[in-house]
Structure 1
Amino acid sequence: MANSEPGLADFTKHLRKWFETRQLSSETDYSEKLWIDIHTLFQVLAKGIDSTNPFSEAVCEPDNPAWTLRSHAAEFKVCQRIVNIFLFMDGLHYVNNGDWQQRYIFNNEQRLEEYLRCMLGHVALLQLYGDNCDHIELVRTVSNSMDPFREAFRHADISKTCANMNYRNIQIGTKLIGLTMARWMEQLKGTRHVGSITSDKPVQICNQGQGTNTKEATADGVRQNGHMPIVEMMEDGTTDVVKKLIKKGKDMTDEVKKRLIETVKDSTNPEKTMEDILDTVSKCTAPGNACVQSALESVHTSVTPVPPNPADHDPSAISASA
């Protein structure tokens, strides 16, 4: 798989190592087993998002002195859950007496797990807390508070591991990583363990009146600080389109899902193709299958034949578009 992104190339290298250590009978078995492992990691995030620890209290209270527990209970809860997402990305678990441990669940595959933790964490921030300015400001506050904490305990910043990786378009087997993870987050949102802050400031108006548009102002700041690789999606409205595609996707047949994957994968410009499909789906009011079929018909792709892979168990089912 050719790609110009160092992060993506390294991620692919560790995926290949994952495949090489397993003796499975087919590429389908490989991708299914990997998705089981990724979902197990998601469950770690889901179980820990509502936990309490001294660090979340230390971050959320001093940074927001005007809050009171009685009148700002929702804000405290959301702040603590955002802290837990960042702790999940770094693999940090509170033990007791102020002690923290960095734990991994993938044996001998820690680097791959770090990439996946980073992706899951940022997709969680996008899907769960990317819908208004108050949420985004809390994400920034927590992100800025993590650096001194990491320095104090000499922990690495894993939240930057997946920076500059367009994992919305990375495919494992028949699934796109970003959309699959986003669908899990939507399910998590329905469990009432996520919470939200009532706000009259949608993402489209964040930073208005500062002499520049929202996306440029926030994206530049994020890139300089390097904290949140996909936060610009939270602020330019992309999250609404992604959520709509997820909702439409529930009604898609397996045949249409396969065609969607193949269309993006085989196009000469996969990222542009994906953007065109998302744009068409976002404007469509028909049921999911019809919307995606319409999107596939509207995009113009130039397909180049891909020669068969001579290695039966090489992870050729893994593909990406930069």
Structure 2
Amino acid sequence: MSNIRFGPAGSSDSFFAMGYKHTPQMPEYLERMGLNAYEYQCGRGVKISQEKAAQLKGLFSEKGIALSVHAPYYISMSSMEEEKRIGSVNYVLQSARAAAAMGGSRVIIHTGSCGKISRTEALELALDTTKKCIKALDAEGLSHIRMCPEVMGKLNQLGTLEEVLEICKLDERILPCVDFGHLNARTYGGLKGPEDFDAVFQKIEKEIGVSRMKEIHIHFSKIQYTIPGGEKLHLTFEDTQFGPSFEPLAEILVKKGCVPTIICESAGTQAEDAAAMKQMYLNAGGTLI
């Protein structure tokens, strides 16, 4: 049976405050924090060497920590320029190589923006680029790496929940990365009670089935948003003005028996807030293996 996982995206401020300096020390830090997942950040490019990746693989594996990789932010699966779409395939491939070398199995991807074309046209381009990514991964023997297109927070970005699920329909290996902070921002605070989160999971199950619904990749943080733009700023769990709250999501995860990997993207307190989510999950009746 799979286990639900909690962890941070990148390094919390406390990582450095506790005297740590380098990524090879991250597994020890995460163990101290009671966490079992980590999202390695390649947002500004995939720069890790094979030697360092192999070292990290051993260290993370030793502590039982599941590793995912966030692909470069400048990926644009929906660009009107073919050269940029081809480049995006290469960036996904680079990220997948890094994930595999570190013992990870998930690559999180921003799909891009709509630019000057319609959402329908942008989605068609993203679907075509995703197909090319799948072929490239298969050709390199990386078919075990799962692409996770992310629900985005700004309204002009491609990446509504519905658009992400359309991409996921291309292949059983593709998992949605449901960023609930983004989803809350683009619905102007639409995620409040358990019923709001339940509706999200019902939609996922309807579109791509119960198996993938139970093992989705989740990003979670409180996010300041504007109307009509959407996402503006990542916050911490200390914030009381903007949502969403994790407790109602924890209730639904327990109710549905979901075992996602949950990555916290709070601003500077992502490990602490990930640990807080773990406790909220346990308080809701969840169990850990």
Task: Specify if TM > 0.5.
Answer: no
Is the helix fraction higher in 1 or 2? 1
Higher strand share: 2
Please state which band the TM-score falls in when normalised by the shorter chain.
0.3 to 0.5
Please tell me whether Structure 1 or Structure 2 has the larger radius of gyration of its CA atoms: 1
